Amino acid sequence: MKKGCETEKHDDGVPHISKARKQLLQKLAQKEGTPVFVIDHEKIRKNYREFKAHMPFVQVYYAVKANSNPEIVRTLYEMGCSFDVASMPEFMIVYENIKNMPAKQRQDWIWDNIIYANTIKPIETLEALDRYKPLVTFDNSEELKKIKQHAPHAGLVLRLRVPNTGSMVELSSKFGVDPGEAVDLIASAFAMDLVVEGLSFHVGSQCTNFENYIQALQLSANIIKEIEERTGRKIRILDIGGGFPVKYHPGIKTLTPLAKKLTVEIKRLFPEDMQILAEPGRFLVANTCSLVSKVIGKAYRDGKPSYYINDGVYHTYSGQIFDHVNYPVLAFKEGATQISAVFGPTCDAFDTITLSAELPELEINDLVYSENMGAYTIASSTFFNGFPPAKVVHINQ
């Protein structure tokens, strides 16, 4: 399908769904049933082009964990994207696109286009990865020992612990070596005859404090300089991770000012031959997916209408719990609105989507929708209570 995917921009700078888009979503729901999760591939391509336009010197590695739908991976692969994977199933989703390449070409592509960015890997995973030889990350000496024994042919990238202040989801408590220990750890890897290709960091998901990036770049530059002075070995890969913000609401800054800051600092701190990688996940897919659900129940509780829909926090709205994002529940029906509660379908009171939706009076079988649901939503959907995840439909492929 090619039509009906437009959005309208209002003064707040946030894209608003157009009338044509609403009509398309309603038609898809009537045809496919609900809940239905709609993926717009032209928006994915647009986001990729936007990121490359702002930072053309950066090699883009899509963080597959944001949304591992194989068709999304395929679209980005066709755009020339590289991939950040964090498990062997994610690796194999990417691998499906290149499995028919000649062996030498396939190996070269993996080396140049996949980074296994989970710092902790089971032995079985390391043994599997050694066959394919992608870049792999690490952040501690025990992981180095495992890599030496089970994946000695991998290229290594050391992940640093950097400030995550102001990010919606912080990652530094679980991942990254303290900068003061980084040089010693890299020296240990060299002493074990392992190849350390670069450094990486992640400032936290949905980062709205751009100083996190600036501090992380400065730390990385200092460590690279010290490594080269101490060991005589050059580090020529810097992975600046993800965290690139999505404009979920008007108060969030766009990519433009961040890209300008990054460009200036990278050119100031690093040599021209430094290969810069980034791992956008949310930025590439968050605004590309919509969810349409149906009202299956209605009651009045605590003095306000309460609607029960056939999707919830155990399913596509899981991002409200795990990703700390609010996805407003909106109605196709027009009319005066009132504060309403919206619950998911499961037999669990935790399955509460919102207690403060602004909705007109709805009836059983009326449709509702939510936008900007592409990242960290359906990826963690479950079959809790026997309710299956939403059906996935693709447009603009």
Which residues are identified as catalytic? 347
CB neighbours of 131 closer than 8 A, spacing ≥ 6? none
Q: Which two tokens stand for residue 29?
A: 């729901």
Query: How many CB atoms within 10 Å of residue 334?
Result: 7
CB neighbours of 311 closer than 8 A, spacing ≥ 6? 34, 35, 291, 293, 317, 344, 345, 390
Give the burial class of 164: count Cβ atoms within 10 A of its Cβ; 0-12 exposed, 13-18 middle, 19 or more buried: buried
Given a contact cutoff of 8 angstroms between Cβ atoms, the answer to whether 298 and 261 are in contact is: no
Cα gap 97→397, rounded to integer Å:
16
Cα gap 160→227, rounded to integer Å:
14
Q: Which helix (H) or strand (E) holds 62?
A: strand 58-63
Give the burial class of 256: count Cβ atoms within 10 A of its Cβ; 0-12 exposed, 13-18 middle, 19 or more buried: exposed
